[in-house]
Structure 1
Amino acid sequence: MTYATTRNSERRVSPVFLGIVAVMAVTGWAVWTDFAASPGLAAFLFVTSAWIVSLCLHEYAHARTALHSGDVSIGAKGYLSLNPLKYTHALLSVVLPVVFLILGGIGLPGGAVFIERDRIRGRWKHSLISAAGPLTNVLFAIVCTAPFWLGALDGVPTPFRYALAFLAMLQVTAAILNFLPVPGLDGYGVLEPWLSYKIRRQMEPYAPFGLLAIFALLWIPEVNGVFFDAVYSILDGLGVSRYDSVAGLDLYQFWPEFSISSPR
């Protein structure tokens, strides 16, 4: 039923997204083979492009779930093409998360695609739409850590292992932060349909500042330490050591250090 309301052209994967995937593949190969003259630069390009791919998949998951939940306007907005330039808030969805990554070596969540919520009936559907994005980060983290928890690291070059561990850390941080019940983040979106109308109206003005508040809190050493202790505990459960994650961050940040990055 939903497919009848979306054209094939609206579901066609964007050349922009394919170009980002190509950069990820080429630079991943450069890290694997140690082909690049600067391993740090190759790792930087590989992780950054892979991070953008995960952001696109995050927003696609929101859009696709909304489409199947009743918002048939999603296709016309271009969200199903995986083109990051089609997002309503491209600055929040892609640019700021990449800036946070470069400056801080941390996977902060981005903004969301615009969904016409009045087309969707049922609180569970609204919650699922919000949860779909961070669940994509969870899946991405599981894929990135698969060689670690499967014990399949034999033959994997050390720089690639470090880059993969750091990329996994980004996905874990993004999933945790996205699931926080803070206005403007997906965790609050999961909770919001179950709140009273009065509370929703009271929280609405704070939505634009939720992401900035999280960014500010992570500058506090005590908060930063507690947060990354939780991140490293999860990664350890997935077979990724703190050493590998930090080594990946050091490989990624090949420029003079100025960041709020995770504790070494």
Structure 2
Amino acid sequence: MSRPGEPLVLGVPRGAFRPSPIFLALVALFVTSGVMAWQRFGNVRFDVFLFVISGWLVSLCLHEYAHAVVAFRAGDRDIAHRGYLTLNPFKYTHPLLSIVFPVIVVLLGGIGLPGGAVWVDQRAIPGRLRDSLVSLAGPATNVLFTLLLVAALRIGFGGGGSLEFWAGVGLLAFLQLTASVLNLLPVPGLDGGNMIQPWLNPQWRRMYDLFAPYGFILLFALLWNPRIGGWFFGAVFWVADLLGLRPGFYSVGLELIRFWQG
């Protein structure tokens, strides 16, 4: 609810844009655990675990925020009232799919799985191009994070900090890279599929909408296929090599975050 006299932004109370305490707590945990891993404070494996998981959750929040803010600017004003612009992960449509399940996949498989999404009123967004840009905004955030983390690793490694800290940075970069590729796949219900959905003819769109709720299942089915899974991971590792993201960093990082095995 808005407070009396609260300033409006495009007809929406400014409070709808205020970062939630939950998001700010995640950022604080990310920074604090990063400093702890940098200095090897206490149990360094647990430090890296907190650093990677909190960093991944922050990126999930910003991924969904990117969708929401572009949708808001494109015409969906109601998205602000749904709480999506506060960066609160518990405002998402599917908290279990958006947060819990992706974190489990990170821990078990080291893959940046795309989570559930914000709900966008496509009827309020004029034009197919704007609709596609709303879907593109999230993966673009992952791509940006990938480049920033790889740049930080290539520039900063060797200039200070512990090996464990930089392994955590390398794992975060790899997670962002896998999330970028997965989110851009033209799978119904995922961002890549949602980008092309507005351009489909009515018959294909009806078929797309039929399969969209099962996008996660379809994604797993595709990755489970040895040939398709091999192509996917081959492409991811090729891009990682192209960017200069050495496999030693993210493999060590993945081992470190499983602190219970140490």
**TM-score normalised by L of structure 1:** 0.91
Matched, 1:74 2:79: yes
Quote the residue 1:10 is aligned against.
16
Measure, in 2, the Cα distance between the counterparts of 1:61 and 1:82. Answer: 10
Q: Are 1:227 and 2:232 matched, yes or no? A: yes
Higher mean displacement: 58-67 or 149-158: 149-158
**Contact kept in structure 2, 1:182 and 1:188, CA below 8 Å:** yes
Give the whole-Å Cα distance in 2 for the aligned partners of 1:207 and 1:5: 32
CA contact (8 A) 1:106 1:173 kept: yes
Deviations 1:42-99 (A, max 9, x none): 1111101100000000000000000000000011111110001111222222222112
SS in 1 for 2:244: coil
1:249 paired to 2:254: yes
Q: Quote how far apart the aligned CAs of 1:147 are.
A: 2.3
Map 1:152-163 to 2 at 5 A.
153-163=158-168
Bigger mean CA deviation after superposition, 231-240 or 148-157: 148-157
Among candidates 184, 187, 196, match of residue 191 of structure 1: 196
Contact 2:102-2:114 within 8 A present in 1 as well: yes
User: How many residues end up aligned between the 2 structures?
Assistant: 255
Shift of 1:40: 1.8
Q: After TM superposition, where is structure 1 displaced by more than 6 Å over at least 4 residues in a row?
A: none
Q: 1:230 and 1:253, CA in 2 relative to 1: closer, same or farther beyond 3 A?
A: farther
Q: 2:4 matched to which residue of 1? A: none
- 1:260 corresponds to: none
Asked whether the equivalents of residues 70 and 119 of structure 1 are also in contact (C-alpha less than 8 Å), the reply is: yes
Aligned counterpart in structure 2 of residue 34 of structure 1, from 15, 40, 55: 40
Unaligned runs of 5+ in 2: 1-7
Identity of aligned residues (%): 47
Between 1:118-127 and 1:83-92, the stretch displaced more is 83-92
The answer on whether the counterparts of 1:149 and 1:238 sit within 8 Å (CA) in structure 2 is no
Q: What residue in structure 2 maps to residue 262 of structure 1?
A: none
Question: Residue 108 of structure 2 aligns with which residue?
Answer: 103
> Deviations for 1:175-211, whole angstroms, at most 9, x for unmatched residues?
1000000001000111011100110101212112111
Question: Per-residue CA shift, 1:140-189, capped at 9, x if unaligned?
Answer: 11111112344654223211111100100000000100000000100011
Deviation at 1:237, TM superposition (A): 2.0
Task: Name the aligned partner's letter for residue 122 of structure 2.
Answer: R
Aligned-partner Cα distance in 2 for 1:13–1:164: 25
Greater CA drift, 167-176 or 245-254: 245-254
Instruction: Return the alpha-carbon distance in structure 1 between the equivalents of residues 146 and 180 of structure 2.
Output: 9
Compute the TM-score of the two structures, normalised by the length of structure 2.
Answer: 0.91
- Conserved in 2, the CA contact under 8 Å of 1:131 and 1:190? yes
Change (3 A) 1:206 1:167: same
Task: Structure 1: give runs of 5+ residues left out of the alignment.
Answer: 258-264
Name the aligned partner's letter for residue 61 of structure 2: C
Q: Which amino acid aligns with 1:15?
A: P
Say whether the 8 Å CA contact 1:232–1:241 is kept in structure 2. Answer: no
How far did 1:256 drift? 4.6
User: How well do the aligned residues superpose, as a CA RMSD in angstroms?
Assistant: 1.8
SS, match of residue 10 in structure 2: helix
Shift of 1:109: 0.2
Residues in 2 aligned to 1:19 and 1:148: alpha-carbon distance in whole angstroms: 25
